Structure 1
């Protein structure tokens, strides 16, 4: 069997949403379609239908009115299993060699259940630290309790959600993870082979040539959901540090939306809030930034960091989560240990225009080496490895039965 002949059924928990997980899913589908690989994609959509073009099949399933909002756009439908019979029919017709699940949401739950029922080998990819997100939001919800108590409850919830998540990922033959820490976590926690699945960036689309502002004002940018798990309130601390340093020629450019927007609008005195952007408007916004600020503590990767780099914008990130594996400290940005250092790094770079210029150049050079094609070629190698593992396990069982 050649790599391109492997028949993949891909269950995408996030696809049309505005986030890095959905982007990665769409890029994988695009990669397979461009190469005419046999590929079936199951995802949620605005209506239930099946679309077939050549070797590509798309099964789109509508969520019910009972669907719960997990985020601004992402939902979970407790009645989604009503689609299982339809999906099974399409799977049996497509005859996949491997099922690829992407998380613990409604779409992948159907995928994992049918993989077990139909005895189809499975690969899994970890995209979201749901345990950290849940703990963060729970702590915020329990804000009326003493800090020590709400913190203890949130920590306990995080521990148990993580344990359940890792248990779920014991089902696949092989797991894919966005950074080295999660790769190690899955490997040790599941006993399964785990491989790194990075992310690419379109360095032609995200390009510093798309800059449209030419004044002397430094623009400090953020792109993403304005939610508590993104730690966006740290931007107010950055503003305080900049003001204390006596710097005035700056502006925040905030791209995105969410529950924290109102809080930020009240406190950031010199900021432009654009809401969600896409296409050329997003590429232009990135190119108009000078320093990218990404204070998230729970990110598994950080596609936006690479998009900023491709636009010639160095990034300042925390030492938690995936972005620290993207940033080359002191070259394409800074990895910050705590709020004070994060703010200090912003001030330091604002005061050093020559260094900022050099870091812009290096950020662009780095991003040019991160192609989506290379990422998905390695994913297909992992698919091949998962099938080999499944075959070896099957042979071992047959040998024991002799």
Structure 2
């Protein structure tokens, strides 16, 4: 049987780098080598991925976020095109509309190859943070980014988006709805489970028996950290006994430690440790409005942890306010502290949210999502989906 050949472009291919790469590897580790052959092209990654060759393109650190590197394919464009010609793919998978993504979509159009992309990162929402010291540029830069993303995604045959809100936003930009397909992310419900609860974990970490609020995220400014700081201040002013544990790392970690001196920073932890922390804490706090999906909210729910989150971004789609969690005005610290205080003092309310959250999170299965992806890859290889777009 002839294998379906896929060339997979991603600037970063390190499994635990962020939510986007974790999503990629959920698919990568499910590749059936008897049916598919993959070639990976990345800026940062290993020499082989799941046994398949991985070509590394020169990459450089992004000035506004030193935790990221961007690949520059033009530096090796001739040898890269030669390798692609030799591999002769049937389908092109592009992770990000970066310089590498632009190279990939251009190559696909020149060679008549179908393209699939997963909408991982809501870049437009980052602009407010990166240009906060030059607000007069924000609207202009946003319009240019939207224009570029519209042009990029309208060259893709299939775009997986993780939430209804993200799908609507792409369509508002002018991306063809025929190309957009709702494809929610999955979670490992065996790993993220109330069974991971350790009643001694939080007292051991904090040295007391106060209720514990967990914040888990990359510590970068676009995660609305300024609001987190104000929540921390307001909880202290209200004399509410609490511990704040922050799990994650990033360029803003030192600033967070200086600003929230009594919080406990555990750094970037493994999924196994994070699962125990979710299951053992009393409330989950998430202030980000820049998520396309927000895996951490779903992981917390699956772990039996009631959530208080920002009403913005893709993660807001998970929470039905007052039913399985609370959604707050994104920049209003008093809204968060009011809801956190309710959860930390009302066990019956917390129990309702826990039960509803567990029921909701059960519907997200990675095996089913991967089956959809590989079925679509085969259909793209046969040009069935491109034919549908033509009508």
Is TM (by shorter chain) over 0.5? Answer: yes
C-alpha offsets along residues 32-77 of structure 1, whole Å, 9 cap, x if unaligned?
2488533333323356x45684xxx33230535x543553422113
TM-score (norm 1): 0.84
Change (3 A) 1:14 1:51: closer
Alpha-carbon distance in structure 2 between the residues aligned to 1:34 and 1:384 = 14
Q: Does residue 274 of structure 1 match 2:274?
A: no
Change (3 A) 1:230 1:318: same
Q: Does residue 210 of structure 1 match 2:196?
A: yes
Cα root mean square deviation, aligned: 2.8
Alpha-carbon distance in structure 1 between the residues aligned to 2:66 and 2:196 = 29
Paired position in structure 2 for 1:163: 147
Matching of residues 282-361 of structure 1 within 5 Å: 282-338=274-330, 339=332, 340-361=334-355
Change (3 A) 1:77 1:5: closer
Change (3 A) 1:37 1:289: farther
Paired position in structure 2 for 1:258: 250
Paired position in structure 2 for 1:219: 212
Is residue 29–residue 41 contact of structure 1 (8 Å, CA) maintained in 2?
no
Paired position in structure 2 for 1:147: none
Ranges in structure 1 where 5+ consecutive residues have no aligned partner: 143-149, 397-402
Q: CA deviation at 1:190?
A: 2.5
Q: CA deviation at 1:93?
A: 4.1
Q: 1:153 aligns with which of 134, 137, 149?
A: 137
Paired position in structure 1 for 2:361: 367
Q: 2:384 aligns with which of 388, 391, 396?
A: 388
Alpha-carbon distance in structure 1 between the residues aligned to 2:247 and 2:34 = 34
Is residue 12–residue 69 contact of structure 2 (8 Å, CA) maintained in 1?
no
Paired position in structure 1 for 2:206: none
SS at match of 1:297: coil
Alignment size in residue pairs: 377
Q: 1:200 aligns with which of 186, 201, 217?
A: 186
Alpha-carbon distance in structure 2 between the residues aligned to 1:392 and 1:324 = 32
Q: CA deviation at 1:281?
A: 2.4
TM-score (norm 2): 0.86
Ranges in structure 2 where 5+ consecutive residues have no aligned partner: 204-208
Is residue 3–residue 34 contact of structure 2 (8 Å, CA) maintained in 1?
no
